[in-house]
Amino acid sequence: MKPYPFSGIVGHDQLRLALLLCAIRPEIGGALVRGEKGTAKSTAVRGLAALLSAATGADSADGAGLVELPLGATEDRVVGSLDLQRVLRDGEHAFSPGLLARADGGVLYVDEVNLLHDHLVDILLDAAAMGRVHIERDSISHSYQARFVLIGTMNPEEGELRPQLLDRFGLAVDVAASRDVDTRMQVIQQRMAYEADPDGFAQRYADADAELARRIAAARDIVDDVVLPDNELRRIAALCAAFDVDGMRADLVVARTAVAHAAWRGAHTVEEQDIRVAAELALPHRRRRDPFDDHGLDRDQLDAALSQAGAEPPDDPDPDPEPPGGGQSVDTNSSPEQKNSTAKSPQPLNPMGDDPQRPASPPSRSSPNPSAPPSKIFRTRALTVPGVGEGAPGRRSRARNATGSVVAAADASDTGSGAHGLHLFATLLAAAEHAPGAGPLRLGPDHVRRAVRQGREGNLVIFVVDASGSMAARDRMAAVSGATLSLLRDAYQRRDKVAVITFREQQAALLLPPTSSAYIAGRRLARFDTGGKTPLAEGLLAARELIVREKVRDRARRPLVVVLTDGRATAGPDPLGRSRIAAARLVAEGAAAVVVDCETSYVRLGLAARLAGQLGAPIVRLEHLHADHLTEAVRGAA
């Protein structure tokens, strides 16, 4: 079945343009596409691969096609490794290429790139930027060409990319489903027509796709000859400085993208409109300094920065009496056409030639409560789960998983060792010990040893926050909110899934279902209702119920319950007895817990310490949660 044609995609003009520019100049560093599910992210990438094959005149079998990287791929599978079969069988030192070699000349697509291991993302980005892969490991010294268009797609609700990895992607585009009824109708009609007759539907757009492929090929032919004048280069440098981006990568990406956009227009010189398009694609994701920062680029600020960046440089202290051209730099904002270009997006933003239709920004959530804004976010002390788990790779608690360091070897039949992968050296030693004497080494099934690795895992961190009247004093609630946000940021950095439960009045509420997105969590915590009685038992029971549900989905991910409370329980009959029973039920689920004592009164009642005892958990005073105050990490009781 033919892929959905690139020209048949409705809307998403900025997404399509970003993909086309990366196809014209892969050195841009690829594109990251972020958006909710069902927004044609994968459809656009597969359509681009077909265009690229046509533009290069190659079949996908020749390399210029689409190579998809599965999330479970290992580093050897990605970059290649020693061919053990040929080494053991023929004694030949041979190299077996990986997926990056197959992607040469085509598109390397990583769906849910935010769930890929960080070290693999680093490898992909290095290869995309350099166009080659260099391997120096396991007695291998090898290099091969890998010029491909790297495209990663992700749903932010499933977790964010680390900022240092986000910056490595050349371009980033946020996509959302249109809220316009006519546009949504057109999307449905197009998709149903494709599903009814894929070949016939593709044929309807064959000419349009062929024209796009021709334009890609033509742009590739001239891109190396496009001139970037000094005044526009100055504009790029001034623009990146104005937006206070880190390092020089942003300047280089904007310059490369502007050159590619000029080639896409068929021009031989970069102009301001090319720089504007490049800035819209290359700068938004580089402005985030914190996981709670908003995405995007303010267009008014971009207009002002472009105008300022295009101003003449300061006069030389000893200028030439008659410099070339009258000593004046070209002011690209002086013409009416250029002034109008800052009021709306330039026409080349739409690769199909239609009027651009920018989706309306989704409504923002409530702003922080002005009566009790969260206190300043800080670096928190490490809260860990005791023992050794086997959960998803992360940076919190000790675990045996595939990304840890090798600490031992285990027999292949030992299923309880938590081993991952082959321990080559131990396998060869085992074969040598049982060798009959002189002659070639022969490996048998009994000689295989697996590597026992120990690293770190991410946990399910459940914040249970007391939002009752006992905690509702302005300063106290601000401190609790700030501490919760600080713990959330720590959980984001340690690759945890997080959930937030608040309790007040007579019940507990799941404010945030388990997610890996600190940004979404921060928005949910920006404001929540406070006051009323303190149903502590309901908060603990809600945490237990959430743990039971999540065990069905991911049994290996161990939970850590962080309770932020002053320990009071005032709701319902026998509140203290009910909270004691609820704590016992939570402990019975095997959940590790930490109690953050939020009591701030001069006379301390010690109720939070009593709760910690019932949970078998360590207790941390709110003011001692800062990492600056600790000498060693907090560890829960076994």
Q: Which domains are assigned to the chain?
A: 6-313+337-349 (3.40.50.300), 397-435+442-457 (no CATH), 459-635 (3.40.50.410)
Average pLDDT, the chain: 79
Q: Given the residues 132, 204, 249, 398, select the one marked as catalytic.
A: 249
Residue 416 — pLDDT band, cuts 50, 70, 90?
low
Q: Where do we find the tokens 């492929």? A: 213
According to the model, what pLDDT value does residue 344 have? Answer: 36
Query: How far apart (Å, rounded) are the C-alpha atoms in residues 73 and 402?
Result: 11
DSSP, res 348: G
At residue 324, the pLDDT reads 38
Which one-letter DSSP state was computed for residue 603?
S
CB contact set of 356 (below 8 Å; sequence gap of 6+): 13, 345, 349, 350
Cα dihedral 544→114→142→61 (10° resolution): 120
Pairing state of beta strands 80-82 and 95-97?
A: antiparallel
Higher pLDDT pick, 328 / 621: 621
CB 75, CB 123: distance < 8 Å:
yes
Q: In the predicted model, what is the mean pLDDT of residues 408-424? A: 74
At residue 337, the pLDDT reads 38
Residue recorded with tokens 């039971």: 548
- Is pLDDT of 7 > 70? yes
Going from the C-alpha of 558 to that of each of 416, 422, 458, 589, the distances in angstroms are 18, 26, 8, 11
pLDDT value for 628: 63
Model pLDDT, residue 355 = 38
Mean pLDDT of 249-265: 95
Mean pLDDT of 115-122: 80
Q: What letter represents residue 300's amino acid? A: D
Conformation bin of residue 344: beta by default, left when phi > 0, alpha when psi is -120 to 50: beta
Query: Who contacts 268 (Cβ-Cβ below 8 Å, separation ≥6)?
Result: 222, 225, 226, 227, 262
pLDDT at residue 541, as a whole number: 96
The reported pLDDT for the residue numbered 200 is: 93
Q: Where is average pLDDT lowest: 38-42, 98-102, 208-212, 483-487? A: 483-487
Number of residues written out for the chain: 638
Q: Determine phi and psi for 243, rounding to 5 degrees.
A: -90, 0
DSSP 104: T
Query: Mean pLDDT over residues 556-569, rounded?
Result: 90
Q: Which amino acid belongs to residue 264?
A: W
Q: Is the pLDDT of residue 86 over 70?
A: no
In this prediction, residues 314-333 reach a mean pLDDT of 42
144-148, 440-444, 590-594: which has the highest mean pLDDT? 590-594
pLDDT for the residue 617: 93
- Please give the average per-residue pLDDT across 409-414, as a whole number: 78
Look at residue 276 in the predicted model and tell me its pLDDT.
93
Answer whether 415's CB lies under 8 Å from 60's CB.
Answer: no
Give me the pLDDT at residue 89, please: 66
Q: How confident is the model at residue 354 (pLDDT cuts 50, 70, 90)?
A: very low
Nearest C-alpha neighbor of 258 from the set 356, 130, 342, 346: 346
Q: 164-194: per-residue pLDDT in tens?
A: 678 888 999 999 888 889 999 999 999 999 9
pLDDT at residue number 125: 81
Q: In the structure, what pLDDT confidence band is assigned to residue 527 with cuts at 50, 70 and 90?
A: low
Q: How confident is the model at residue 138 (pLDDT cuts 50, 70, 90)?
A: low
Which of 53-57, 181-185, 247-251, 318-322 is predicted with the least confidence, judged by mean pLDDT?
Answer: 318-322
Per-residue confidence (pLDDT) for residue 65, from 0 to 100: 74
Q: Give pLDDT, residue 91.
A: 58
- In this predicted structure, the answer to whether residue 341 has a pLDDT above a threshold of 50 is no
What lies within 8 Å, CB to CB, of 40 at 6+ separation is 9, 12, 175
What is d(CA 23, CA 148) in angstroms, rounded to the nearest whole number? Answer: 8
What's the pLDDT at 439? 62
Say what the pLDDT of residue 61 is. 40
Residue of higher predicted confidence among 530 and 296 = 530
In 266-408, which residue ranges form alpha helices assigned H by DSSP? 272-282, 299-309, 336-341
CA distance from start to end of the chain? 56
Q: Verify whether residue 249 is a known catalytic residue.
A: yes
Crossing angle of helices 13-24 and 272-282, rounded to 10°: 100
pLDDT of amino acid 20: 94
Report the relative pairing of strands 405-411 and 449-457 from DSSP bridges: antiparallel
For residue 629, how many C-alpha atoms fall within 13 Å in the half-sphere facing its CB? 11
Q: Average pLDDT of 195-201?
A: 92
pLDDT for the residue 360? 39
**Three-class SS of residue 48?**
helix
Predicted confidence at residue 583, as pLDDT, reads 95
H-assigned helices in 135-205: 163-166, 181-196, 198-204
pLDDT for the residue 236: 93
Range with top average pLDDT, 402-406, 540-544, 603-607: 540-544
Q: Point out the least confidently predicted range of 28-37, 81-90, 207-216, 403-412.
A: 81-90
Residues of the chain above pLDDT 90, percent: 28
Residue with tokens 């603990």, as numbered in its chain: 540
**Average pLDDT rounded to a whole number, residues 132-143:** 76
pLDDT at 329: 37
**Sign of the dihedral through C-alpha 136, 138, 142, 147:** negative
Is residue 501 within 8 Å of residue 141, measured between CB atoms? no
pLDDT tens digits, one per residue of 564-574: 899 989 888 88
Q: Which region among 93-102, 174-183, 495-504 has the lowest average model confidence (pLDDT)?
A: 93-102
Cα(43)–Cα(3) distance, rounded to whole angstroms?
Answer: 8
Contact of 52 with 19, CB cutoff 8 Å: no
What does the pLDDT read at residue 64?
A: 52
Tell me the DSSP string of 498-548: EEEEEEETTEEEEEEEEES-HHHHHHHHT-----S---HHHHHHHHHHHHH
pLDDT of residue 178: 87
User: What band does 436 get if pLDDT is binned at 50, 70 and 90?
Assistant: low
pLDDT band for 1, please (50, 70, 90 cuts).
confident
Q: Could you give the dihedral angle defined by the CA atoms of residues 603, 606, 607 and 608, in that order, rounded to the nearest 10 degrees? A: 120
Burial of 262 (0-12, 13-18, 19+ CB in 10 A): buried
- With a pLDDT cut of 70, the percent of the chain lying above it is 78
Q: Residues 6 or more apart from 222 whose CB is under 8 A from it?
A: 263, 266, 268
Q: Determine the average pLDDT of the residues in 252-256.
A: 95
* 9-13, 144-148, 327-331: the lowest-pLDDT one: 327-331
**How far, in Å, CA of 98 to CA of 70, rounded?**
13
pLDDT for position 376: 76
Token pair belonging to 576: 């203290």
- Return the pLDDT at 367: 37
